[in-house]
Amino acid sequence: MRSFFAKYKMFGIVMLILSVVIMYLFYDALQPKKMLPVYQPNMVDPTLVDSTLHYTKKYHKISDFALVNQNGDTVTQANYKDKIYVADFFFTTCPTICPIMTKNMAEIQNEVLEDPDIMLLSHSVTPVIDTVEQLKRYAIEKGVVDSKWNLVTGDKKQIYELARKSYLAVKNDGDGGPYDMIHTENFILVDKEKRIRGFYDGTNREEIAKLLDDIKILEASYNE
Q: Where residue 101 sits, what CATH number does that domain have?
A: 3.40.30.10
Domain, as residue range, for 22: 1-31
- Give domain status of residue 106, yes or no: yes
User: Is the domain of 168 the same as that of 197?
Assistant: yes
Consecutive H or E run containing 119: strand 118-124
Residues 6+ apart with CB under 8 A from 183: 88, 89, 90, 91, 125, 163, 169, 170, 171
Query: Greater confidence, 142 or 28?
Result: 142
Q: Is 183 annotated as a binding residue?
A: yes
Which of these ranges, 14-23, 94-103, 133-142, has the smallest mean pLDDT?
A: 14-23
pLDDT value for 134: 98
Residues 9 and 116 in one domain: no
Whether 26 and 136 map to the same domain: the answer is no
User: Are residues 203 and 185 in contact, defined by beta-carbon separation less than 8 angstroms?
Assistant: yes
Does residue 49 lie in a domain region? yes
- Residues 180 and 98 reside in one and the same domain: yes
Residues 76 and 179 in one domain: yes
82 compared with 224, residue with greater pLDDT:
82
Q: Please report the pLDDT score of residue 224 as a whole number.
A: 75
My answer on whether 147 and 66 are in the same domain is yes
- Whether 34 has a pLDDT exceeding 90, the answer reads no
> Stretch 154-172: mean pLDDT, rounded?
94
> What is the number of domains present in the chain?
2
Indicate if 189 and 211 belong to the same structural domain: yes
State the average pLDDT over residues 86-96. 96
CA dihedral defined by 10, 12, 17, 22, rounded to 10 degrees? 140
Q: What does the alpha-carbon distance between residue 197 and residue 105 come to, in Å, rounded to a whole number?
A: 17
Residue 18 shares a structural domain with residue 58: no
Is 54 annotated as contributing to ligand binding? no
Q: What mean pLDDT comes out for the span 135-155?
A: 98
Q: Which of 159, 185, 153 is nearest to 88 (CA)?
A: 185
- DSSP tag of 43: G
Looking at the structure, tell me whether residues 114 and 210 fall in a common domain.
Answer: yes
Average pLDDT over residues 118-143: 97
Looking at the structure, tell me whether residues 26 and 46 fall in a common domain.
Answer: no
Asked, for residue 36, whether it belongs to a domain, the answer is no
Residue 85 has pLDDT above 60, yes or no: yes
Q: Is 94 annotated as a binding residue?
A: yes
